[in-house]
Chain A
Amino acid sequence: MGAPKLPTQSPGPFPEDPMINSENSFHPERPIQFKKVKNEVRAYVWELPIRIFHWLNALAIMVLMVTGIYIGKPFASASIPEEAYYSNLMGWMRYVHFFAAFIFVANLLFRLYWVAVGNKFATSNPLRWIFWKELFETIKFYLFLKNKKPHFVGHNPLAQLSYWIFIGLGSWIVMLTGFYMYFEPQPESFWAKLFVWVPYVFGGDSYTLRSWHHLTAWGFMLFTLIHVYMAFRDDYLERNGSISSMVTGYKTTTNKSVGEKNND
C-alpha cells in the first residue's frame, strides 16, 4: 500500500510569500506529495488505507444504523406467526449489528495507527492557536461573511473539528456503551470486567447507556448528512475533485499550496 513514487516538496521554509496556515506548518517532515497533470497540480491527499478506512467506515455505519434502529424499535415482525421456532429476525439483526460493530472497531483502531505513520492529512492537532484562528475564519466563510480563510489542501479546521467530535468522541461513545451492553449478559466474564467502569463515565444505569448509544447514533446520521453536503459543496466551489478524491486519493490544488512557484 505504499504511496506512488512522486516528486515531493522539500521540507523546510517555504519559498517566497510563505502562505502560512495551520496545514503547511504542520508536520513539515511529512511533505505533500503531488504530481502535475497539464497545468494542474494534483496533491496526493488520501492514501489508500485512508480511502479503505473511509468506505469501510461508511458502510459499517450504515449497516449499524439500520440494524440498530431495528433493535431499538423493531419496524418489522417475523413473517411466520405463532411459533418462535421458525424465525430469528431480531437474532439476525443483532448478529449483523455486532458483526458490523467489530468491523467498525477494528477499522477505527487501524485508523488510529495510521495517524502515526500516514501523511500529514492523516492527522490533526487542535492544540494550536492557529487552528482556532483559522477555524473562526472558516466558520465565517461558511456563513458567507468576509473572511481570511486560507486555502487548504486537506481538511479545513472546521472539518477537522467535526471529525474530532463525531469520529473521535462519537465513535468512542458508541463503542464503549456498545461493548458494555454486549457483555451485559455475562457480568462475570473477563470482557465484561474490562467495561465495568463505563456506567460511571456516562453517569447511569443500563437504560442511560442505551440512551447514549441511541442518541449518538443519530449524531452520526447528522454528521454524515452535513459531511456529504460539504464535500459536494467544496467540489462545486473549488472544482478540486473533492468527491472523486475519496476514490483516487488526488485533489487538484494550487501550485502555491505544495510549495511550487506560482506560474499562473
Chain B
Amino acid sequence: MKEQKTVYQAAIDRGVSRRDFLKMCTALAATLGLEFTQSDQVVKAMETKSRVPVVWLQFQDCTGCSESFIRSSQPKTESVLLDMISLEYSEVLSAAAGHQVEASMKQVLKDYKGEYVLAVEGSIPDDDAFLSVAGQSAKATFLEMAEDAKAIIAYGSCSSWGGIAAAHPNPTGAKPITNFVKGTPTILVPGCPPIAEVMTGVIAHIITFGKLPELDHLGRPKAFYRHRIHDKCNRRAYFDAGLFVESFDDEGAKQGYCLYKMGCKGPTTYNSCAEMRWNGGVSYPIQSGNPCIGCSEKDFWDNGPLFTRRAKIPGTQTTINPDAVGLATIGLATAGIAVHATGTVIKKKKDDKRGEDHE
C-alpha cells in the first residue's frame, strides 16, 4: 500500500493552523452526534489515520448528490476533499479525464485493496444496454469496485432505493445497488439529494472509527435517520393544535401553520432535515413553507401526488383518496342493500302467500 499522509498532516501542509484543526474536529464530533468529551477521540483519529481513498461512481443519477455534497458546511467540503479523503475517481470533481481517470480507478484496486471507500450515486439498470461508462457496463464496474472496497456508501435515493429511474414503469429496470452487493458493508444515505452534512458526516465517521456508524433495520445511519421529520418539525405545534394550511396562499400559510393537508409527507419520512436543516442550517422545505415530499423514502415518486394526502393500494403503485373511495364503496353497498332488501320483501310476501294457499 502506498504511504499516505495523515489527515492532520494534510491539513497542516495545506496551511491550516493547529487551532483551526482542533475546531474542525470539535465541530465534526458534534455533527456525528458525539459527546463533547469524545471530541479528542476525533482529534486522535485525524492525527493518526491517513486520508481514505474514495472512488465515487455515478450511474443512473442526476449529479444532484454530488452537488449537495460540495455544499457541506460542517465539516467544510474542502476540508473533507483535501484533508480527510483522497478522491481517486469522480466524474464531477476529478481533474483528469478520459483514459487517465479510468486508469486511476484501476490503480485504486491495486494500491488500496480493501482500504478504499466506494461511494455510489444513482441506480444500476438491469439491462446493460442502458448504461455503460468507458465501454464497461454499470453493473460490471460496480461489481468490480464493490468487491474489494472497505465499505460502500449509497448516496441518494437512486442508489439506496432505485429512485426516479426505478419509478413506474421503470423502463431501464433500475435497481438499488444493494441488489448487487455481495458481502461488502453498505450504508444507505437516502435523500434526493441527501443533506450535505449527512453525506460528509458519514465519511468522517468511517475515518474516525474505522467502521460504519450504527445502522437501522434498513441500513441507514441511525444518527441521521432515526426520527421522522414530523417528530422534529418546527411546525409540529400547529399540527397538534389543529391549525392547517388549506391552500398555499391562505392566511394559515402566512402564519406558518402545519402543511399536513397540503400533502406533507413529514409523518412518513425518516430524515434529519428538521434538525440538521439545509445550506449550513439555514432552513428546510417545511420551514420555508413547502410540504415535505418524502424524498428520502423508498419509492417516493410512486407515492402519489406530492401535494395531496392519499393512500396507496398495497402491492400496487396506485394511490387513491381513501375517504372518497371508502364513501363511494359504502354508497354502492347501500344501493345494493336496497335492491336486496326489496327482493327479500317480495320473496317473503310470495312465500307467505304460497304458505297460506297450502293451508
Is the Cβ of A204 less than 8 Å from the Cβ of B344? no
- Chain B CB count within 10 A is highest, among A73, A82, A93, A212, for A73
Is the Cβ of A206 less than 8 Å from the Cβ of B312? no
How many angstroms between the C-alpha atoms of A236 and B343 in the bound complex?
13
User: Which residues 310-356 in B have Cβ within 8 Å of A in the complex?
Assistant: 311-315, 322-323, 325-326, 329-330, 333-334, 337, 340-341, 343-345, 347-348
A222 contacts the other chain (CB 8 A):
yes
CB nearest neighbor in A for B346 = A144
A7 contacts the other chain (CB 8 A):
no
Contact A215-B311, Cβ < 8 Å, known A73-B323, A74-B244, A87-B243: yes
Is the Cβ of B329 less than 8 Å from the Cβ of A229? no
- Chain A CB count within 10 A is highest, among B217, B243, B343, for B243
User: Which residues 258-287 in B have Cβ within 8 Å of A in the complex?
Assistant: 260-261, 265, 267-270
A51 contacts the other chain (CB 8 A):
no
B88 contacts the other chain (CB 8 A):
no
Cβ-defined partner of B268 (8 Å) among A69, A86, A87, A210: A210
- Chain B CB count within 10 A is highest, among A74, A82, A88, for A74
Encode B217-242 as 1/0 by CB contact (under 8 A) with A: 10000000011100100000111111
Is the Cβ of B265 less than 8 Å from the Cβ of A185? no
A15 contacts the other chain (CB 8 A):
no
Is the Cβ of B241 less than 8 Å from the Cβ of A90? yes
A77 contacts the other chain (CB 8 A):
yes
Is the Cβ of A78 less than 8 Å from the Cβ of B322? no
Encode A187-230 as 1/0 by CB contact (under 8 A) with B: 11000000010000011111110111011011001100110010
Is the Cβ of B303 less than 8 Å from the Cβ of A187? no
Is the Cβ of B314 less than 8 Å from the Cβ of A76? no
Cβ-defined partner of B231 (8 Å) among A73, A185, A226: A185
Is the Cβ of A211 less than 8 Å from the Cβ of B313? yes
Contact A91-B240, Cβ < 8 Å, known A207-B303, A207-B312: yes
Is the Cβ of B325 less than 8 Å from the Cβ of A84? no
How many angstroms between the C-alpha atoms of A144 and B340 in the bound complex?
9
How many angstroms between the C-alpha atoms of A90 and B244 in the bound complex?
10
How many angstroms between the C-alpha atoms of A139 and B297 in the bound complex?
44
Is the Cβ of A225 less than 8 Å from the Cβ of B260? no
Is the Cβ of A203 less than 8 Å from the Cβ of B268? no
Is the Cβ of B242 less than 8 Å from the Cβ of A81? no
Chain A residue numbers with a CB within 8 Å of B38 are none
Is the Cβ of A225 less than 8 Å from the Cβ of B344? no
Is the Cβ of B326 less than 8 Å from the Cβ of A218? yes
How many angstroms between the C-alpha atoms of A237 and B350 in the bound complex?
12
Chain B residue numbers with a CB within 8 Å of A222 are 329-330, 333
| A209 CB to nearest chain B CB (Å) | 8
How many angstroms between the C-alpha atoms of A88 and B258 in the bound complex?
13
Contact A77-B244, Cβ < 8 Å, known A72-B309, A207-B303, A211-B311: yes
B255 contacts the other chain (CB 8 A):
yes
B298 contacts the other chain (CB 8 A):
yes
A261 contacts the other chain (CB 8 A):
no
A89 contacts the other chain (CB 8 A):
yes
Chain B residue numbers with a CB within 8 Å of A84 are 237-238, 240-241, 243
Chain B residue numbers with a CB within 8 Å of A74 are 242, 244, 260-261
A233 contacts the other chain (CB 8 A):
yes
How many angstroms between the C-alpha atoms of A217 and B348 in the bound complex?
34
Is the Cβ of A184 less than 8 Å from the Cβ of B228? yes
How many angstroms between the C-alpha atoms of A77 and B245 in the bound complex?
10
Contact A202-B312, Cβ < 8 Å, known A89-B242, A222-B333: no
B216 contacts the other chain (CB 8 A):
yes
| B168 CB to nearest chain A CB (Å) | 15
Is the Cβ of B243 less than 8 Å from the Cβ of A77? yes
- Chain B CB count within 10 A is highest, among A86, A207, A222, A225, for A207
| A260 CB to nearest chain B CB (Å) | 23
Encode A30-73 as 1/0 by CB contact (under 8 A) with B: 00000000000000000000000000000000000000010011
How many angstroms between the C-alpha atoms of A73 and B348 in the bound complex?
44
Is the Cβ of A78 less than 8 Å from the Cβ of B314? no
| A219 CB to nearest chain B CB (Å) | 9
Cβ-defined partner of B330 (8 Å) among A86, A211, A221: A221
| A189 CB to nearest chain B CB (Å) | 12
Chain A residue numbers with a CB within 8 Å of B347 are 144
Is the Cβ of B298 less than 8 Å from the Cβ of A204? yes
Cβ-defined partner of B311 (8 Å) among A187, A210, A229: A210
| B166 CB to nearest chain A CB (Å) | 14
How many angstroms between the C-alpha atoms of A138 and B241 in the bound complex?
50
Cβ-defined partner of A211 (8 Å) among B217, B314, B329: B314
B61 contacts the other chain (CB 8 A):
no
What are 19 A-to-B residue pairs whose CB atoms are below 8 Å?
A69-B323, A74-B242, A78-B243, A84-B240, A84-B243, A88-B241, A90-B239, A94-B240, A185-B227, A203-B315, A205-B268, A207-B265, A207-B303, A210-B267, A211-B311, A211-B314, A215-B322, A226-B333, A237-B344
* Further pairs besides A205-B268, A206-B269, A211-B311: 18, Cβ < 8 Å: A73-B261, A76-B242, A77-B243, A78-B242, A81-B243, A89-B242, A90-B241, A91-B242, A142-B340, A187-B227, A206-B228, A206-B297, A207-B297, A210-B268, A221-B330, A222-B333, A225-B330, A233-B344
The list of the 8 closest CB pairs from A to B, nearest first, reads A89-B242, A218-B326, A84-B237, A211-B311, A206-B268, A84-B241, A78-B242, A87-B241
Residues of A within 8 A of B (CB): 69, 72-74, 76-78, 81-82, 84-91, 93-94, 142, 144, 184-185, 187-188, 196, 202-208, 210-212, 214-215, 217-218, 221-222, 225-226, 229, 233, 236-237
